[in-house]
Amino acid sequence: MEKNCDVRRVFMTLKECQKRIKSKTYTAETCHQETVDLIEAIDHCVGDKAFIKFA
């Protein structure tokens, strides 16, 4: 991936959220937004290259 992509930081944020959730016996917190952020970061980095052969 490109050096200017911020996927690693977003991925680490998701992992921290998952760790936080697993450490609690009950929580209403989900990692939904962190997951969406990760998908968007990946899409931003590879979106223009991923489907170039389909164009």
Boundaries of domain holding 46: 7-54
pLDDT at 39: 93
- How do residues 3-24 score in pLDDT, each as one tens digit? 567 899 999 999 999 999 999 9
Cα separation, 23 vs 1, whole angstroms? 32
Q: Is the pLDDT score of 48 beyond 80?
A: no
Q: Is the pLDDT score of 1 beyond 60?
A: no
Residue closest to 35 by CA, chosen among 55, 52, 53, 18: 18
State the total domains in the chain: 1
| Domain presence at residue 2 | no
| Domain presence at residue 1 | no
Check: CB of residue 41 under 8 Å from CB of residue 10: yes
Residue closest to 42 by CA, chosen among 2, 3, 7: 7
What is the pLDDT confidence band of residue 32, given thresholds at 50, 70 and 90? very high
- Higher pLDDT among residues 46 and 33, named by residue: 33
**Cα 14 to chain centroid, rounded:** 6
